[in-house]
Structure 1
Amino acid sequence: MSKILAFTNQKGGVGKTTSTANVGAGLARVGQRVLLVDLDPQANLTKGLGLLEAEQNVYGALLGEYRLKAYSLRENLALVAGSPALSGFEKVKGDELDREFLLKELLEPVRERCDYILLDCPPALGLVTLNAYACAQALYIPLEAQLYAADGLAKVLELVGRVQRRLNPELAVGGVFFTRHDKRKVLRRDTAEQLRAQHPGLVLDTVIRESIALGEAPHLGQDIFTYAPQSAGATDYQALVAEILTR
């Protein structure tokens, strides 16, 4: 039975999609069977991994228009495409009974065929994100170590508590990790140290350093290991994968 990990933050631009793609690719490289699910209406995970013409996507599957379709990207790695139509999911399904469990029901038949299912959540704490939290075993929260990072983390942790009580008692925070990190910048270094002190055991050891290659790879539809295997980004995500596998 696969383990479902959700990559989430209510703030955009923190490397959530980049992390979903590269953690997924890194897990696949070490022999894990991985399914990525693009739940962000921007569909950047889908485009950034080179899937440009997907006839079937997660939105249509959630609406029951067709069965869940996973597109193979490479060995051990497949992707359920995202769709801009996900922005209307709450309007369409908001009054439906058990609306928070639609994704869980959709993924249940494929869980035996995967080791990991990684969910790229939208940067909003709405119904799509609740569906992800309702079926995940662990959340991973990328953060930039800057002034308002603690505020974004607090909002996610608050929602996690409510989901644990009402929808998914198995949900846990797998870890928080810093992205676009530059320890030479005093504010980022101090913020990182402050959050480690506030949340002992929650902040992972691995940090993802600022890397040009991480920004370039999606433009070619590639993960960092394919695009620049010797880069700092590849080294950091390889370390993050190793840390996730031990948790």
Structure 2
Amino acid sequence: MSKIIAFTNQKGGVGKTTSTANIGAGLARAGYKVLLVDLDPQVNLTHGLGLIGAEFNVYGALLQEYPIKAYPVQENLGLVAGAPALSSFEKVKGDEVDREFLLKDLLEPLQEKCDFILLDCPPALGLITLNAYACADTLYIPLEAQMYATDGLEKVLEMVTRVKRRLNPALTVGGIFFTRFDPRKVLRRETAEIIRDKYPDLVLKHTIRETITLGEAPHLSQDIFRYAPNSAGAADYEHLVQEILTR
């Protein structure tokens, strides 16, 4: 039975999709069978891994138009494509009974086929994100150490409390990790320390430094390990993957 991990933050532009792709690739390199699911209507995960114009996507599968389809990305790594139409999911399915469990039902047949299922959640706490929380075992929250960073974090943690009470008692927060981190900047260091002090059991040891290669890799449809295996970004994500595996 696979472990389902959701990467989530109400705030956009925090490296959520980059982290989903590279942590997934890191797990695959370690020999685990991994499935990525793009739940963000911006479909950056799908396009960043080179899948353009996919015939089958997660939205159509959620509407039961066809079975869920995983496209191979590389050895041990598959991808369920996203779709811009996911932005209308709440309008289409909002009144349906058990609407919070549609994704859980969809992924259930795949859980015996892989070790990890990673969910790239949209930067909003709507029905799609609720579906992700309802089926996930663990959430990880990427965060930039900057002003107002805790606003989105606190909203996510509040939603987790409600989901645990009503929909998924087994849901846990695996941790918070800093992305685009530059230790030379005083504000970044001070904000990181404030968050570490406030959530000492949640903040992970390893951070993802701000590097050009992490931004370049998706434009060539590659993860950081294929694009720049000797880069700081590859080293940072390798360390983060190992930390996640030991939590």
TM-score range, shorter chain: over 0.9
> Counterpart of 2:205 in 1: which secondary structure?
strand
Q: Following TM superposition, where does structure 1 have runs of at least 4 consecutive aligned residues deviating by more than 4 angstroms?
A: none
Distance 1:150 1:99 in 2: 29
Distance 2:153 2:124 in 1: 13
C-alpha displacement at 1:10, in angstroms? 0.2
Aligned AA (2:101): F
Counterpart residue number, 1:144: 144
C-alpha displacement at 1:223, in angstroms? 0.2
Structure 2 counterparts to residues 18-167 of structure 1, below 5 A = 18-167=18-167
Counterpart residue number, 2:219: 219
Distance 1:198 1:175 in 2: 13
Distance 2:111 2:166 in 1: 23
Distance 2:133 2:206 in 1: 23
> Counterpart of 1:5 in 2: which secondary structure?
strand
Distance 1:104 1:206 in 2: 30
Instruction: Note the residue ranges of structure 2 that are not aligned, 5 or more in a row.
Output: none
1:185 aligned onto 2:185: yes
> Counterpart of 1:112 in 2: which secondary structure?
coil
Distance 1:74 1:186 in 2: 39
C-alpha displacement at 1:151, in angstroms? 1.2
Distance 1:181 1:107 in 2: 34
> Counterpart of 1:202 in 2: which secondary structure?
coil
Counterpart residue number, 2:3: 3
C-alpha displacement at 1:152, in angstroms? 1.1
* CA root-mean-square deviation: 0.4
Aligned AA (1:9): N
Counterpart residue number, 2:168: 168
Counterpart residue number, 1:245: 245
Distance 2:118 2:232 in 1: 23
C-alpha displacement at 1:42, in angstroms? 0.4
Residue by residue over 1:147-168, the C-alpha shift from the partner in whole angstroms, topping out at 9 and shown as x without a partner, is 1111111110000000000000
C-alpha displacement at 1:200, in angstroms? 1.0
> Counterpart of 1:72 in 2: which secondary structure?
strand
Q: How many residues align?
A: 247
Residue by residue over 1:197-247, the C-alpha shift from the partner in whole angstroms, topping out at 9 and shown as x without a partner, is 000110000100001000000000000000000000000000000000001
Instruction: Note the residue ranges of structure 1 that are not aligned, 5 or more in a row.
Output: none
Distance 2:195 2:50 in 1: 35
C-alpha displacement at 1:53, in angstroms? 2.5
Distance 2:178 2:39 in 1: 22
Residue by residue over 1:78-106, the C-alpha shift from the partner in whole angstroms, topping out at 9 and shown as x without a partner, is 00000000000000000000000000000
Percent identity (aligned): 77
Distance 1:236 1:103 in 2: 31
Aligned AA (1:145): A
Counterpart residue number, 2:206: 206
Distance 1:193 1:40 in 2: 30
> Counterpart of 1:54 in 2: which secondary structure?
coil
Distance 2:227 2:16 in 1: 19
Distance 2:138 2:197 in 1: 22
